Structure 1
Amino acid sequence: MNNAKIAWITDTTASLSEEFIKKNNIYVVPLHIVINQESYKETIDITQKEFYERMRKEDSKFQTSQPALGDFVNLYSKLKEDYDYGIAIHASSLLSGTFQTSVMAAEMVDFKLVPLDSLTGSYPLSFLIKKGIELVEKGLEINEVVAQLNGLREHTRLFLVPSNLDQLKKSGRVSGGQAILASLFNIKPILAIEDGGAKIKDKVRTEKKAIAWLINNLKKDLETKSVKKAAIVHANDLERAVQLEKLVNETFPDIETELMMLITVAGVHTGVGTLGLSWVSE
């Protein structure tokens, strides 16, 4: 199937640049952002920056929802005309129903689809897509491409440090009592997207300790594996993100860095000012 015409499909949690999407003919299905029951298509009706600015200013209810089944049905009906099959790499199926909806739509219109549950989102998801495209261009068979990408999933790291627990409390991820205690004692939870789900990895007392924790975890991975690039993710707090990037550059001069806005699916729970570090070990 090396000469087959392949379509690449993903969703807006992949944080791919417009330039990369166009260059590689990637079809990106947007997730929906819901503010006080009003729905917006991410990156089309509202940018991630606009979303975080509204979250900072408004006392509204912020939610996200997966793409509608119809969005995928329409896309796959069109792709069926021009492509032999599609490779869909989506956000973790434990964090969003996008993956399941994508698979269902392909079955409905009889479009041949190779679906891959990334078990992550944000930078690691974009990494898997780029890697997949690179492997296909090298002429690897599709089953080998899928096997390699599946193997990389356990080496993805995405750690997030919320600036405060207000949004986690609103979204029901922590109780009010825990949030008050944490703010009194200045406790910072460190969240990880791991095995497809979100979990609290650790709790530290200050932001300085949280940053040190992130750097140490990258150091640990470098003892046994190689990391070519790290992404500094932020929920519309460029100033702190640049400071973290500078620290990563000074500590690991051989690692390339990229600044990236945090995907809104995560930001809805962690809030404005969240800072994080992400990489994939090879």
Structure 2
Amino acid sequence: MSRQPMKPPVDTSAPPAARGGALPNSRVSPSEEIAAFVAKARAMSPHAPGARGRLVFALDATMSRQPTWDMACSLQAEMFREAAALGSLDIRLVYYRGMNECRASGWISEPAKLATLMAKIDCRGGNTQIGKVLSEARRDAVASGVRAVVFVGDAMEEPADELCVKAGELGLLKVPMFLFQEGYDATAEATFREIARLTGGAWCRFDPGAAAQLRELLRAAAAYAAGGRDALQRLSRTDGGAARLLGQMK
């Protein structure tokens, strides 16, 4: 089966010169750099009237995730359908698998295209790479504007403090992260809850193989990405998933 190539995220661990950027001015203080970074990101806010909603849809595609990956393939159209009633939505798929593979698609505006892309991806054994997901989401937030990040996974095998630093950067950019955890891994839960807090998002658990639970959560995240907090508020009156997210968000 042929596979659609996907451009891997830029390696942000390399020095600025190696990535083609100019070296920073040593006379600029760290606080000034942070202030300039936040001001630039907010000036590119995706929440302006008429802006297309953009959602980063990140998935753990390691071997233990195969059943839920297949389930997510069948449910991803729910996000587009929910967003269609509110405006428009572009989704960028980010996934990791294997020993060191983390890939991101372009922006997708059609559910059929996203479904086709996901169907070509199989799960492979390896460790989690959530840090790369957070870095990719931050780049997207600065470059093109992102309203929300969804992450679906069941484990966390990275230094929690490093992930929380990156989550804090998303929080400064006003990009909430919705973490949907499958199962009951206590280490993952503790870190996912903290990432949600730092970004102003939400953490929710769903039972293994529970399609109805995941469907509600994905629809709620799409409603927020397409229509903001007001849209999530309206949906929460009839949808349990939206109420769960809204109850945690700042």
- TM-score, normalising length: structure 1: 0.30
More strand by share: 1
- TM-score, normalising length: structure 2: 0.33
